[in-house]
Structure 1
Amino acid sequence: MNNKEMQFAYKVKLALDANLDNLSDDTLQSLSAARRVALARKKQAPIHKRVEQPVLAGAFGGAMMSPEKPSWWSRLGVAAPLLVGIILFAGIYQHENAKRVSYLADIDAAVLSDELPLSAYLDHGFNAFLAEKGQ
């Protein structure tokens, strides 16, 4: 039943309760018959069955299925992948950072071992010369 139907049913119930003493016997029998028909048509509520579930034995199974405070095994099951992920992320970051430092060191070594002064690399005309020379 939606909300409007519930409100209508409640109003009808209040009206019937207020005028219960004034209703005739025929009306009461008619309402009683209508109630029996309505109860017969009402959908049966689903029957809740208890479903048996197997419980895993051992250190992992019993602790995972328990609604009580989680054991250290279940906490480790959550913390271990998180810790591995953090360590993996830190390792990748360190590796990429070392590659970048090595690349910059190679560039610096090439610039410093060259015979050109550093000011030549800052000149826009020199960049154009290098681009033209590369073709």
Structure 2
Amino acid sequence: MAPQRLPQDAANLELRFGLRVGAALSERSATPGHDVFERLRVAREQALARAREARAALPARQAKEAGSVLVQSQGTLALGGSPLSEGFRWWAPLASLVPLLLLVLGLVLIDQWHDRLQTATVAEVDSALLSDDLPPDAYTDPGFSEFLKAPEQH
């Protein structure tokens, strides 16, 4: 059996009823109940009380440094000095020099490795020349280089 078609007025009425039910459900879920608001208020008050106790427990100097967090534009933070950084202020220049020293050390090591590689290559060529059947003067002869360039003819 095919489903019966509703008249146009009944379809509109059904559509409006569905929209009203959806709106009511959305409104109810968007606004939490009184008990939720009350629990959130109590939790907020407890958190503020704990924060006040924590600030009161800090010495004046630490409280000043703990309060040196600045919120800058675009949501970035700038942190002030901490009690640990006062005794170790000499670490900052040293920490900025370490990457530079590592870079220079790496470049020196690469240069030494390159020199050793070139020395080994030259030594290999020299040993091949000296152990060959031809005398070394043959390699400087222009006719010999032409002989090497020419295709083999048998």
Give the TM-score of the pair, scaled to structure 1.
0.49
Give the TM-score of the pair, scaled to structure 2.
0.44
